[in-house]
Structure 1
Amino acid sequence: MAGELEKLKIQAYTEPDYSGAVLSEFHAYVNPSELTLAYEMEYDSAQGSGTTGSRMEFKQIKPGDLSLSFFIDGTGANGKLVDVQQQVEAFQSTTGYNGDIHRPNYLIVAWGSLQVRRCILKSASIAYKLFKPSGEPLRAVISATFTDNSDDETRVAIAQDQSPDLTHSRIFKDGDTLPGLCQQIYGQAGYYPQVARINQLSSFRDIKPGTRLIFPPVKT
């Protein structure tokens, strides 16, 4: 609904092209207060014989990192009681190693107007801050770094800022239709049943304004 607090969301997939159904989701209990995007340009700095400087020839943009922290409060001070360890395990289950595919899950991180990122978990640490006398944790902070999981073609498309082969995110507004948004993003309105299924919509005709929709990558 419009005006509802939007939470950062992590979705897990088992396929490297992010096809198929969402395996699991993790929603931030409290949205991050800080988010860091890091990226690195790679240059060829070969220097010619007898020269005093080098011409930095651009080679590529290396996969970037996204770093953020998740605060979990089980004291009820935020008006909602949660099981801290259960939330930590939900994060680990969504982002961590998956024995069925013999590797960590493929992830999508989405929040607000940020570019939806296809990534994998690079590292994570969990700091428990407060405990009950029994030793049960009452507060925790998960610090995580994700790294881009895009092939060269996708990174080029991101640089160009638009491609049906990328994951897109849209806030549904009055006057929007799902087929119309599919036409804008994919160039074909007929993808709306797949998009409705990915977003777990009971009816593509009854979408409330303010709803965030994920449009997965497709091959056109």
Structure 2
Amino acid sequence: MDGSISKLRIVSLPGPDTGGKGVTGSIGVGDILQTLTTKIFEVQINPETISRNFSIKYNEPDTKGTPGTELQFDKVNPEELELRFILDGTGVVPSAGLSADLVGSIMSALPAEAQGAYVPVRVAQLQAAVYDFKDESHRTPFLLVQYGKLVFMGLLLNMGINYNLFSPDGIPLRAEITLKLKAHTPFKDSMALLSLLSPDLSRHHLVLAGENILRICDDVYEDEKYYLEVAKANKLTNFRNLQPGTQLILPPIDKTAKR
């Protein structure tokens, strides 16, 4: 364990390759990895409560006037998940450092005086990830929620935003977000999808001004010596002067292997 705090993560998954067979098709790992760089949202502050709702549907026989009729089992309804979390743009929440959420990392790194844009940008990012229609399929995205041992795949039912603090210019500085989702697993290779959430998965990092490969390796792997593996994975020939805006692949590294 590296001592870092695990953040609740919401991933907007690309649609399966249905091949005209409905929504039970397969999906390419390459498509998922591309999605993880653009459609991943990590909460700024982990939720205090998470609600999971389970229900069963029964049919009541149409036997009028007969007391005590036994209910007949119909089906187990899909699980529903409700998340509540806060976005704070007042600058009082410390930056979480490196994250798979590129937008969140950049916004969190802004100086306190520039945090006024935090809430509007993050709300727009979340909406694009969970709510916006996909042109090719004319539906909202499939979503994967991961937090600790909780792994939930489903569709958005409702997104609520409660703004409760504003700047003198009327810009929202704090928002309470409520998401309600219904379980749905449309992919044949769901276990392959879930394996992509492993902490050993190759991650992506957007290089910021002043960063170098040694510092990045020290932050991610807790050791500068892995810079050669990172340089090799990114086919870097001159890695001493990384340009801001460069996107690096951070490959999984077995720290127990003999070197």
Q: What's the TM-score bracket when you normalise by the shorter of the two chains?
A: 0.5 to 0.7
Q: CA deviation at 1:65?
A: 1.1
Query: CA 1:50–1:77 in 2, change beyond 3 Å: closer, same or farther?
Result: closer
* Structure 1 outlier segments of 4+, above 4 Å: 47-51, 163-166, 168-172
SS in 1 for 2:4: coil
Letter in 1 for 2:169: S
Which whole-Å CA distance do the structure 2 matches of 1:30 and 1:97 have between them? 23
Q: Is the 8 A contact 1:63 1:150 kept in 2?
A: no
Query: CA 1:50–1:136 in 2, change beyond 3 Å: closer, same or farther?
Result: closer
Percent identity, please.
29
Which of 135, 146, 163 matches 1:110?
146
Which of 91, 105, 114 matches 2:126?
91
Q: CA deviation at 1:88?
A: 0.4
**Counterpart of 1:131?**
166
SS in 2 for 1:53: coil
Q: Is the 8 A contact 2:134 2:141 kept in 1?
A: no
Query: CA 1:30–1:207 in 2, change beyond 3 Å: closer, same or farther?
Result: farther
Which whole-Å CA distance do the structure 2 matches of 1:11 and 1:208 have between them? 27
Q: CA deviation at 1:43?
A: 1.8
RMSD: 3.0
Unaligned runs of 5+ in 2: 17-24, 96-111, 201-247
Which whole-Å CA distance do the structure 1 matches of 2:182 and 2:158 have between them? 9
CA deviation map 1:150-179 (0-9, x unaligned): 36x99xxxxxxxx9488366566xxxxxxx
Q: How many residues align?
A: 171
Letter in 1 for 2:180: T
Letter in 2 for 1:203: P
Which whole-Å CA distance do the structure 2 matches of 1:165 and 1:78 have between them? 35
**Counterpart of 1:190?**
none
Q: Is the 8 A contact 1:63 1:148 kept in 2?
A: yes
Which whole-Å CA distance do the structure 1 matches of 2:255 and 2:142 have between them? 29
Query: What is the correspondence of 1:47-58 to structure 2 with a 5 Å cutoff?
Result: 51-58=66-73
Q: Is the 8 A contact 1:47 1:53 kept in 2?
A: no
Query: CA 1:131–1:166 in 2, change beyond 3 Å: closer, same or farther?
Result: closer
Which whole-Å CA distance do the structure 2 matches of 1:208 and 1:94 have between them? 34
Letter in 2 for 1:97: D
Question: Who wins on radius of gyration, i.e. which is larger?
Answer: 2
Query: CA 1:7–1:164 in 2, change beyond 3 Å: closer, same or farther?
Result: closer
Letter in 2 for 1:75: T
Query: CA 1:146–1:207 in 2, change beyond 3 Å: closer, same or farther?
Result: farther
Question: Of Structure 1 and Structure 2, which has the larger fraction of its residues in strand?
Answer: 1
Which of 76, 79, 93 matches 1:61?
76
SS in 2 for 1:97: coil
**Counterpart of 1:149?**
184
Query: CA 1:87–1:207 in 2, change beyond 3 Å: closer, same or farther?
Result: farther
Which whole-Å CA distance do the structure 1 matches of 2:134 and 2:192 have between them? 28
Unaligned runs of 5+ in 1: 155-162, 173-199, 210-220
SS in 2 for 1:93: helix
CA deviation map 1:180-216 (0-9, x unaligned): xxxxxxxxxxxxxxxxxxxx97434x0569xxxxxxx
Q: Is the 8 A contact 1:39 1:63 kept in 2?
A: yes
CA deviation map 1:13-41 (0-9, x unaligned): 12145723233101001000011111210
Which of 32, 37, 57 matches 2:52?
37
